[in-house]
């Protein structure tokens, strides 16, 4: 990549930078060398409520389980399968770093939770965009008794971000997406199109919807600067959005 290339890292790539196979991590490192690397506080908010929250779940599982191999069983039994999958990725990361004994597992997870994961989020980042002023991005895991607490939900009733204001500035883009996605064969993308149409009428409905992936992808696609390419593993959802908005997209190959 040349120094003039700007690459925006989305949440999936930020998670891959920590938990992917070594080959994939190395590919990401190589892809970013020489480029101007950017991400956003909105992505950080998503990262906190996914990977960092999962590290808290894993920490609790290790704390409650006598035998380390039972942790894998408990992960498999988690109701949220996406969270279970990320917990397994974190578990694999611990083993990749040579951590196996319960005391070491807890110790290393504490370091992940306290600062390790957030430091890795910021590795090599040249610019952190803060257009949405996401309130959840300012949260940090706080010790509570033997474990930690992290606020990962916001509500529409309490205004703690500028998401609605930013979306209101993107009316032409929202119109393009609403028109372009309304008959999309992928039901999830069609829902995104319907949601864009609702946002045109009332941008405030975006607040407090932090758990809906289709809003997250939409916000990231809209906050992506026009001169930057999006680096994501989620090509399926982002390609139609970026194509309609005229943005470039990259995906790791390994």
Partner 1 sequence: MMELRLSVTEARNRLPVLVGEVAEGKNQVVITTRNEPKAVIIGYEAFQRQQRLRVQGAWRVLTELVSEAQALLRTTQEGCRGEGEPDLYLFLVSFADLLRDIWEAGEEVSQAHASIASELLDVNRIYLAGDDRLRPEQLAPLAHVLTLLTRRELTMEDAAQADRYLLSHGINAMFPVQGDLVALYDEQEPEPA
Nearest Cα neighbor of 218 from 127, 132, 120, 156 is: 132
Beta carbon of residue 195, minimum distance to partner 1 (angstroms, whole number): 35
Beta carbon of residue 181, minimum distance to partner 1 (angstroms, whole number): 35
Helix (H/G/I), strand (E/B), else coil: 5 = coil
Nearer to partner 1, 97 or 194 (CB): 97
Give the whole-angstrom CA distance, residue 176 versus residue 162: 22
Helix (H/G/I), strand (E/B), else coil: 250 = strand
Write the binding mask 98 to 127 for partner 1: x where contact by CB under 8 A, - elsewhere. Answer: xx-------xx-xxx-xxx-xxx-xxx-x-
> How far from chain centre, in Å, is Cα 100?
27
Beta carbon of residue 120, minimum distance to partner 1 (angstroms, whole number): 6
Helix (H/G/I), strand (E/B), else coil: 142 = strand
Give the whole-angstrom CA distance, residue 235 versus residue 187: 16
Asked if residue 8 lies in contact with residue 35, where contact means CB atoms within 8 angstroms, the answer is no
Stretch that binds partner 1, among 33-41, 183-191, 216-224, 241-249 (CB under 8 A): 33-41
Stretch that binds partner 1, among 97-105, 127-135, 206-214, 237-245 (CB under 8 A): 97-105
Write the binding mask 213 to 232 for partner 1: x where contact by CB under 8 A, - elsewhere. Answer: --------------------
- Can residue 25 be called a binding residue for partner 1 (CB under 8 A)? yes
> How far from chain centre, in Å, is Cα 8?
12
Helix (H/G/I), strand (E/B), else coil: 6 = strand
- Can residue 26 be called a binding residue for partner 1 (CB under 8 A)? yes
| Residues of the shown chain interacting with partner 1 in the complex, contacts defined by CB under 8 A | 17-19, 22, 25-26, 29-30, 32-34, 37, 93, 96-99, 107-108, 110-112, 114-116, 118-120, 122-124, 126
């Amino acid at each position: 990549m040349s120094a003039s290339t700007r690459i925006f890292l989305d949440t999936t790539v930020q998670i891959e930078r920590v938990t992917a196979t070594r080959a994939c991590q190395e590919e990401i490192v190589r892809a970013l060398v020489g480029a101007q690397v950017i991400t956003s506080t909105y992505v950080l908010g998503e990262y906190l409520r996914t990977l960092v929250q999962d590290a808290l779940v894993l920490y609790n599982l290790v704390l409650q389980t006598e035998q380390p191999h039972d942790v894998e069983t408990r992960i498999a039994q988690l109701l949220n399968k996406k969270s279970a999958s990320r917990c397994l990725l974190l578990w694999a990361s611990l083993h990749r770093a040579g951590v196996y004994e319960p005391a070491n597992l807890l110790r290393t997870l504490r370091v992940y939770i306290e600062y390790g994961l957030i430091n890795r989020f910021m590795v090599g980042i040249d610019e952190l965009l803060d257009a949405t002023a996401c309130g959840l991005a300012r949260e940090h895991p706080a010790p509570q008794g033997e474990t930690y607490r992290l606020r990962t939900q916001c509500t529409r009733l309490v205004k703690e971000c500028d998401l609605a204001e930013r979306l209101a500035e993107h009316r032409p883009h929202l119109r393009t997406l609403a028109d372009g996605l309304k008959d999309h064969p992928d039901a999830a993308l069609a829902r995104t199109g319907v949601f864009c149409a609702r946002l045109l009428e009332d941008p405030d409905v975006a607040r407090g919807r932090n758990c809906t992936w289709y809003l997250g992808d939409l916000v990231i696609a809209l906050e992506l600067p026009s001169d930057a390419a999006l680096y994501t593993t989620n090509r399926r959802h982002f390609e139609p959005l970026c194509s309609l908005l005229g943005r470039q997209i990259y995906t790791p190959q390994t």
